[in-house]
Chains A and B, each alone.
Chain A
């Protein structure tokens, strides 16, 4: 599905190159469930952003469904993105001006899904995450965990082939976290959705088929389960 070859990213700090990602090569096949772990500041989010084409590496090659991402224009990248990827953020990133239902609906709008169909799909999602009662509230009126759920619902609604999740369960209680993980597993097993998640929790990491450990921008170890 995607392939990173000798990817590096550094920030120029003073006269020094401060490497956040240091020469990482990684292949992820369709249908895999990958967990990325590592201490804070080790570059997990940065790596995920690069995979998700939100951030650009300073060096290296990046292929996504056989397309050379490093050569694509913004418009083409955004088209690829729409077609394949659903993103769950560490900091939720909901649109403050939109209600819960509208936030969940937004990706569908950009994929030109018809209005009536959208309504049905949003209703389905609200149901699935048991937040029907919150559908007309604005993000500021929700708790952190509830916002996280909305973020996940929004990432899933367009039925992406690749889900990138940055600590999706960080703000959920363990029961909720487990439910999300179960949902991911089900999507992965039954629908063949590829999932890459960043997590601090060993337990959650083990839902994956492969665990990648990062340290100082390098892959320290890979563990296949």
Chain B
């Protein structure tokens, strides 16, 4: 019997090629899209779960309150570590201090670095690590063991890192490498590589004691007042201890320890390892990204919408098509088929089509997989097939079969044999026309939702990408460097050499660019007052060419003069407004000093506000001054003509000047684009899925219209004979769909408005949600619907009436 069904199903698919093509391509695209979203969701939600003690591991974060502001910091002050250990002996604690962008030099001859030594810059995964870390996180040691991290100047490498540095990790042991050309380390162990779904990437582990011994070089301080996001603490609870009990003990300790030791109230919050990857309060993890649960939910929501749309096509087309099958059903009933056998048969056909679509979807997803990294933060080598995805496909299969197969099966199997045989079954008599209309409305509502989402997201990202940042980010290269005395001594000659190149317009040494993710700040005193204002100022340092190089505009006064130490300030408009000064000129000549400084220095200029961070954040009060020892970056403004040639010249000059360091330059506009990586990805997701949604609903619409055209051939013929024009006929066909689109639009507006308004709240600087956006979405879908319906309708209307009537 099964064979018979499959045979019929296959012949049906072939016989109704157009419908099958529409059904299969809609489903294939829908399922492939959902599968890829599932791969993303599965990857993001699997973060950190591979750890054996996953459920009992906690990360401790700090919450600071000052002047009514709450700041969260993923780090914990150094003295807390020993305190935790003393107070809670039953809990295992371990600290790491991360270092971003450190350079490792593979030493070939003794301690000294030569230009020919191989150098590697590690953006992530460099940690000063305690041996206790491995009591909490288990890993496989390929050589050495955790105890080597108890000694100073020891380093443990991951297998991939060791392979990269030494060709083969087996060669690594006992070799010497130098970190940031400052401390020589001995390789004492190699560990298995971390999977990519970790928030604690371990690539180069230097013993924690090395960090302590290095003191200021890596920012070690045993002060409560200092809180760095680099210094993080993890804990492993005994199995019988609850999160609440742990939090209580931490609270008791924190209260006792921090009283009168910091100028803000601070508490420590225990964060289960499972929440680390999604905690947007803390800004970032030790890994490369955090993911907000909201983004994942949006993705999941879109996936469900897409599957629904594809299923709706199926239901619509199958029920419409079932009319044509009424005779077969009638005969089968007469030949002895029971209703359940007919249901089985129709379901079987559905299953076959869906199975076919799933296989095609798998192939399509496989092709699209390498591009997945453009819409999500997934590794290049992410796998498509896993237990999870197979389960997902099986579930999808069952759900789609139930969603799209049951209703048509019930309709078809319910035909009365006599009516069916007499061809008395019409689209109207099987009912379901209201249902089909509702489904088309649902489909178009979904498509419009995604179109509106796309318009808003794309507009906002255009706004962000083209926003006036208050400075010029184009054609500025940033060369990160070092502030050791040798490097500092070469600065002037390096600058002079750069400026010899006619394509280089200006060069400035700086702590960081005007827009950066640097948030260093300080309290300060204004105009000789001994009491500090109730806000901190944020700080940037640069040389006297800083304003020229970045194209910053001064609204009053001038830039500061060349100096190696802080003796003049330029502040921004927000700074003076916060102090209650209205006119920029009034600020000139006033004095200020930073928290720890001894003397007051004059404010010589006020710079027009520029965006200090991303457009998600408010402009901060900024004071800019000059202090040579902090100017680790070189900013080079170049002509846009021959950009890449100039960039090459800059690189070779840098390499000649600083042979002991690896070159690490980049263009400023690229890093600024990085601020919005997740938003740009989401905008792309919307674009992509809106396109898919429109595609699927057009397929559905096309299918329905072509079906209608067949059903109404005779009506069209008669109308034409009676004098209707082609336009009349096309209007007749499109009228209904236009009404349905109108209804779907009314449904889509409030949902879309709510969704996109929420999303825009992420940005302090954002576009308004105007009626224009919604009208544009409506117009888009109407035009698309017209094109889809119009073609078929016109074709139907152009048929010679004599022909269609004669065949009746």
Residues of A within 8 A of B (CB): 49, 52, 54-55, 74-75, 78-79, 81-82, 87, 89, 91, 93-98, 102, 105-107, 109-111, 154, 158
- Contact across chains for B332 and A95 when beta carbons are under 8 A apart: yes
- Closest Cβ neighbor of A86 among chain B residues: B335
Verify if B51 is at the interface (C-beta below 8 Å from A).
no
Our pick among B1, B327, B338 for the contact of A78 (Cβ within 8 Å) is B338
Inter-chain contact B418/A106, CB cutoff 8 Å: no
29 interchain pairs, CB-CB under 8 A? A49-B418, A54-B417, A54-B418, A74-B339, A75-B339, A78-B333, A78-B337, A78-B339, A81-B336, A82-B336, A87-B334, A89-B421, A93-B330, A93-B331, A93-B334, A94-B331, A97-B8, A97-B15, A98-B8, A102-B7, A106-B4, A106-B332, A106-B335, A107-B335, A109-B4, A110-B335, A110-B338, A110-B341, A154-B335
User: Taking CB as reference atom, which chain A residue is nearest B324?
Assistant: A96
Q: Does B563 contact A (CB under 8 A)?
A: no
Chain A residues with CB under 8 A of B735: none
Question: Is B328 part of the binding interface, using a Cβ–Cβ cutoff of 8 Å?
Answer: yes
Nearest-neighbour CB distance to chain B for A94, whole angstroms, equals 7
B523 beta carbon closer than 8 Å to chain A: no
| Closest B residue, CB atoms, query A106 | B335
Q: Does B12 reach chain A (CB closer than 8 Å)?
A: yes
How many Å from the CB of B414 to the closest CB on chain A?
10
- Contact of B164 with A by CB under 8 A: no
Contact across chains for A97 and B12 when beta carbons are under 8 A apart: yes
A78→B336 contact, CB < 8 A: yes
Nearest chain-A residue to B421 (Cβ)? Answer: A93
**B11 interface residue per 8 A CB criterion:** yes
Q: Which residues of A contact B328 (CB under 8 A)?
A: 95-97
Which A residue sits closest to B335, measured CB to CB?
A107
The answer on a CB contact under 8 Å between B4 and A102 is yes
Let me know if B1 and A95 touch, CB within 8 A.
Answer: no
Bound Cα distance A61, B792 (Å): 51
**Chain A residues within 8 Å of B338, by CB:** 75, 78-79, 110
In the assembled complex, how far is the CB of residue B105 from the closest CB belonging to chain A, in whole angstroms?
75
- The residue of chain B having its C-beta at the shortest distance from the C-beta of A151 within the complex is B331
Q: Name the one of A74, A94, A111 contacting B336, with C-beta atoms under 8 angstroms.
A: A111
Q: Which residue of A lies closest to B331 (CB)?
A: A93
User: Which residue of A is nearest B15, CB measured?
Assistant: A97
CB neighbors of A among B415-443 (8 A): 417-418, 421
A78→B330 CA distance, assembly (Å):
12
Complex: chain A residue closest to B423, CB-CB: A91
Give every chain A residue within 8 A of B11 (Cβ-Cβ). Answer: 97
**Hey, what's the 0/1 contact readout for B294-328 against A, CB within 8 Å counting as 1?**
00000000000000000000000000000000011
From B14, which residue of chain A is reached at the shortest CB distance? A97
Chain B neighbourhood of A107, CB < 8 A: 335-336
Q: How far is the CA of A109 from the CA of B331 in the complex (A)?
A: 14
A174 to B566, CA, bound (A): 119
A-B contact count, CB below 8 Å?
Answer: 61
Closest 9 CB pairs of A and B: A82-B336, A110-B336, A55-B418, A97-B11, A107-B335, A93-B331, A54-B418, A54-B417, A95-B328
A49 to B334, CA, bound (A): 10
- Closest residue of chain A to B341, judged by CB? A110
Complex formed: what's the CA distance from A116 to B418 in Å?
A: 32
Task: Give min CB distance, A69 to chain B, whole Å.
Answer: 15
| A87-B331 Cα distance, complex, nearest whole Å | 10
For A74, give the chain B residue with the smallest CB separation. Answer: B339
How many Å lie between the Cα of A203 and that of B330 in the bound state? 31
Known: A95-B331, A96-B327. 13 other contacts (CB 8 A): A54-B334, A78-B337, A79-B338, A82-B336, A87-B335, A97-B12, A97-B15, A97-B328, A98-B8, A105-B4, A106-B4, A110-B336, A158-B336
| Chain B, residue nearest A81 (CB) | B336
Point out the residues of chain A lying under 8 angstroms from B336, CB to CB: 78, 81-82, 107, 110-111, 158
Complex contacts, B331 vs chain A, CB 8 Å: 93-95
Residue on B with the closest CB to A87?
B334
* A49: B residues at CB distance < 8 A: 418
Flag if B339 contacts A110 (CB, 8 Å): no
Taking the closest CB of chain B, its distance from the CB of A162, in whole angstroms, is: 13
Chain B 708-750 interface 0/1 with A at a Cβ cutoff of 8 Å (1 = within): 0000000000000000000000000000000000000000000
| Chain A residues with CB below 8 A from B15, complex form | 97
Whole-angstrom distance between the alpha carbons of A203 and B247 in the complex? 102
Bound Cα distance A55, B1 (Å):
27
In the bound complex, residues from chain A placing their C-beta under 8 Å from that of B421 are 54, 89, 91, 93
Which residues of chain A have C-beta atoms less than 8 A from B1's C-beta? 109
Q: Is the Cβ of A93 less than 8 Å from the Cβ of B327?
A: yes
Q: Give min CB distance, A161 to chain B, whole Å.
A: 14
Mark out the residues of chain B between 485 and 516 whose CB falls within 8 Å of any chain A CB in the assembled complex.
none
Residues of A within 8 A of B335 (CB): 87, 106-107, 110, 154
B347 to chain A, nearest CB (A): 17
Complex CA gap A69/B355 in Å reads 41
Distance of A75 Cα from B1 Cα, bound (Å) = 19
- Looking at the assembled complex, report how far the CB atom of B192 sits from the nearest CB atom of chain A, in whole angstroms: 56
How far, in Å, is A12 (CB) from chain B's closest CB? Answer: 15
Q: In the complex, how many angstroms separate the beta carbon of A107 from the nearest chain B beta carbon?
A: 5
Interface residues of B in 146-181 (CB under 8 A from A): none
Instruction: Give the residue name and chain of the B residue nearest to A50 (CB).
Output: B418
Taken together as a complex, chains A and B put the C-alpha atoms of A164 and B319 apart, in Å, by: 32
CA distance A110 to B349 in the complex (A): 18
Query: What separation, in Å, do the CA atoms of A75 and B339 have in the docked complex?
Result: 7
Residue of B7, B15, B337, B339 with most partner-chain A CB within 10 A: B337
Residues in B with CB closer than 8 Å to A96 are 327-328
A105 to B8, CA, bound (A): 13
Given the complex, which residues of B lie within 8 Å of A87, measured CB to CB?
334-335
Q: With both chains docked as a complex, state the minimum distance between the C-beta of B213 and any C-beta of chain A, in angstroms.
A: 83
Separation in Å of the B512 CB from the closest CB of chain A? Answer: 72
Q: Which residues of B contact A91 (CB under 8 A)?
A: 421
Cα-based distance from A158 to B421 in the complex (angstroms): 21
A78 CA / B341 CA spacing, docked (Å): 11
A52 to B7, alpha carbons, bound, how many Å? 29
A56 CB to closest chain B CB, in angstroms? 9
A49 and chain B: residue at smallest CB distance: B418
- Shortest B381–chain A CB gap in Å is 47
A91 to B330, CA, bound (A): 13
Chain A residues with Cβ under 8 A from B327's Cβ? 93, 96
**A97, B330: Cα distance in complex, Å:** 14
A164 closest partner in B (C-beta): B334
Measured between beta carbons, the chain A residues less than 8 angstroms from B8 are: 95, 97-98
A173 to chain B, nearest CB (A): 25
A58, chain B: closest CB distance, angstroms: 13
In the bound assembly, the distance between CA atoms of A96 and B8 in angstroms comes to: 10
A154 to B333, CA, bound (A): 14
